[in-house]
Amino acid sequence: MNISRCFSHPAAAIALLVMAAAPQPERPEGVLQVTTCAVIGDRVFFDIGSTELRPDAMYIIISAVDFYSAYPAEITLQGHTDDHFPEEKGEEVGWLRAEAVRDAFIARGYPFELIHTASYGDKRPAVLGENEDAWSQNRRVVILVENYLIAPPEPYCGDG
């Protein structure tokens, strides 16, 4: 089965791959809670030195909020920077980036009590290197999903 044809958002397909929990008795029948953390690949990128959301970030945020509103999850927004800042300033910029994404999630109606923020500054680079290609991949907020609630998919996913 081609799982990518069954879901409009890649997080749905990945969520199914990480489901490992047994059905929870306090949940409605057919709804599972996944306690495994998973990075779903959604990253919001920033311009150098900026904490302002770029236009392309809104597509990611809108898609994520729409999906997670249907399948609620606790999320942690992890702010990161490239290595152009002193350590203390880099951590502050990471926080501001995570908070900018958090504010956009809340503005779209996502429950604030399900959102956590963290900053790693330049301590967890996605790409190593001393060039703009590497730095641009490190100026980001990663959306980490925890305690995912999801109902099983419909048995029919499209033409066969």
DSSP result, 125-158: -SS--SSHHHHHHHSEEEEEEESEEEPPPPS--S
| Residue 102 confidence (pLDDT) above 70 | yes
Amino acid sitting at position 124: R
CA distance 74 to 53: 22
Higher local confidence (pLDDT), 16 or 80: 80
Q: Which residue in 5, 16, 56 sits closest to 40, CA to CA?
A: 16
Copy the structure tokens of residue 38: 């998973």
Q: What is the structure's pLDDT at 115?
A: 95
Q: Given the structure tokens 């399900």, which residue do they identify?
A: 114
Q: Given the structure tokens 């958090």, which residue do they identify?
A: 102
Q: What is the structure's pLDDT at 36?
A: 43
Q: What is the structure's pLDDT at 26?
A: 57
Question: What pTM was estimated for this model as a whole?
Answer: 0.69
CA distance 47 to 26: 44
- At residue 150 the predicted structure's pLDDT band, cuts being 50, 70 and 90, is low
Could you give all domains of the chain from N- to C-terminal order, each with its CATH number? 36-144 (3.30.1330.60)
Higher local confidence (pLDDT), 87 or 120: 120
Helix, strand and coil percent figures for the chain, each rounded to 5: 40, 20, 40
